[in-house]
Amino acid sequence: MSDPLDRIEIRDLLLRCIVGINASERKNKQDVLFNIVMWADTRRAAQTDDIDDSVNYRTVTKQIIEHVEASDYFLVERLVEQVARICVRDERVERVRVTLEKPGALRFARSVGVTIERTRTELLVPDGN
């Protein structure tokens, strides 16, 4: 049997933030590009046509924007996991994949990035944050 969960995708979300270990990265905001997949059962929303029965991806995106633009992380690994945590705040989201790219971070490369995939359970384990 195939995965019973549907996919909600946010593609090419371009934001600016402080992230990195080099002096210039700590001082100047830089572009970061997110691609996000959230797995959730969307059948109830399809039946009722009611936003309250749906993962409101506009709300999730606004929360991500607020968090990322105010962030000040050294590692993209930390930032990408925090974005994944935001996605599973909605109890309907069972799993999430988040890709973060830093365009132009490496010479001769279009971008460098990190992709993580986590379940809701993995992300809701308390880590002190």
- Pair 58, 32: CB distance under 8 Å: no
Catalytic-role residue among 27, 29, 62, 102: 102
Active site residue 62: no
Sign of the alpha-carbon torsion through 100, 97, 83, 64: positive
Tally of CA atoms within 13 A in the half-sphere of 113 that contains its CB? 16
Q: Which residues are catalytic?
A: 102
